[in-house]
Amino acid sequence: MKVRVQQEDFDVGTEIAAMRRSRPKIGAIASFVGVVRDVNDGDSVATMTLEHYPGMTEKSIAAIIDEARGRWEVLDALVIHRVGTLKPTDQIVLVIVASAHRGDAFAACEFIMDYLKTRAPFWKKEITPQGGRWVDARVTDDAAAERWQQPVSKVK
Amino acid sequence: MITLLYFARLREALGTGQEQLAQPASVNTLGALRAHLAQRGGAWAKEMAEGRNLRAAVNQTVATADTPVSDGDEVAFFPPVTGG
């Protein structure tokens, strides 16, 4: 289980290959990549700067991964989140979950991402033609995280 | 001393990201600390007002108004998060 907060880009293929190497119990790997869009709330976005709370960021993501491990069979997990200034088409975040079966891998990957959006201390500031603006938290992100608080059945 | 941290929009509005505060005798919870900071007036009164949608952490764990605050703690105030 690994958490990395970094300015540098990442390569999904490299990270997945590293995770499955010498791990014959892994039967499924699910991944999610978040990417910078060129439009948000109707305005074009030139660049985006991500700020975070060093220390708490890593702790909060590790806690989210731990919670996922309590709900599903997770053999390994990796979260990489970039900080600093990014532009449209850049990768922002990577979540990879390895399990024996796809159901657990898919669910844990989505759960980690939904919780990260609402619990990990990152903040986005967009530069648009109207100037800089801090991105507002979305109600739909809260709703996406809250649905996991209902009982879920394990899919094998 | 209490280490205070401010992030993102809040950091810009207050004009500072970090400060050291000698713990006032009347401040032993997060809620009391927030009220104490609001008494500074100006941007502090506006940003720390009770109605503002503000989140906080004590020693890097999400906290609520009744969370105890002690000498040596790291207390952070920030807007709702927007990562991912």
* Cα–Cα distance measured from residue A55 to residue A39, given in angstroms and rounded to the nearest whole number: 31
Q: Give the pLDDT of residue A130.
A: 87
The region of weakest confidence among A28-37, A95-104, A141-150 is A141-150
Chain B nearest-CA distance from A24, in A, is 30
The span from the CA of B80 to the CA of B8, in Å, is 10
Query: Structurally, how many domains does chain A consist of?
Result: 1
Interface test with B, best of A123, A126, A134, A141 (most B CBs within 10 A): A123
Q: Which residues contact B5 (CB under 8 A, 6 or more apart)?
A: A53, B17, B18, B74, B75, B76, B77
How far is it, in rounded angstroms, from Cα A102 to Cα A72?
11
Query: Taking CB atoms and an 8 Å cut-off, how many pairs form between chains A and B?
Result: 72
Report helix, strand or coil for B14.
helix
Radius of gyration (C-alpha) of chain B in whole angstroms: 12
Give first-to-last CA distance, chain B, whole Å.
34
What is the ipTM, given to two decimal places? 0.94
Indicate the average pLDDT of chain A.
94
Superfamily for domain range B2-78: Beta-grasp domain (3.10.20.30)
Chain B nearest-CA residue for A50: B83
Quote the CA–CA distance of A45 and A32 in Å, as a whole number: 22
Q: What is the CB-side half-sphere exposure of residue A109 using CA atoms within 13 A?
A: 22
Query: Does residue A156 have a pLDDT over 80?
Result: no
Eight-class DSSP state of A8: S
pLDDT given at position A150: 73
What is the identity of the amino acid at B29?
A: T
Residue A85 lies in a domain: yes
CA distances from A120 to A91, B74, B79 (A): 17, 17, 12
Residue carrying the six token digits 């999610």: A32
A chain contacts of residue B76, beta-carbon cutoff 8 Å: 53, 56, 121
* Any B CB within 8 A of A9 CB: no
List chain B residues with pLDDT less than 70.
Answer: none
Instruction: Give the whole-angstrom CA distance, residue B72 versus residue A155.
Output: 46
Residues of A in contact with B8 (CB under 8 A): 51, 123, 125, 134
Which of A60, A121, A137 minimises the CB distance to B7? A121
**H-run or E-run covering A17:** helix A12-20
Residue spans of alpha helices (H) in B24-78: 30-38, 42-47
Rg (CA), chain A: 16
Tell me the residues of chain B between 63 and 82 that have a Cβ less than 8 Å away from chain A.
76, 78-82
Give A-chain residues touching B5 at CB under 8 angstroms: 53
Host domain of residue A107: 2-148
Task: Report yes or no on A33 lying in a domain.
Answer: yes
Enumerate the domain spans of chain B: 2-78
* Euclidean distance between CA atoms A68 and A89, whole angstroms: 29
Q: What is the CATH number of the domain that holds A60?
A: 3.90.1170.40
pLDDT above 60 for A154: no
| Residue type at B4 in one-letter notation | L
A139 confidence band (pLDDT: 50, 70, 90): confident
Question: Is A155 domain-assigned?
Answer: no
User: Inter-chain contact B79–A59, Cβ cutoff 8 Å?
Assistant: no
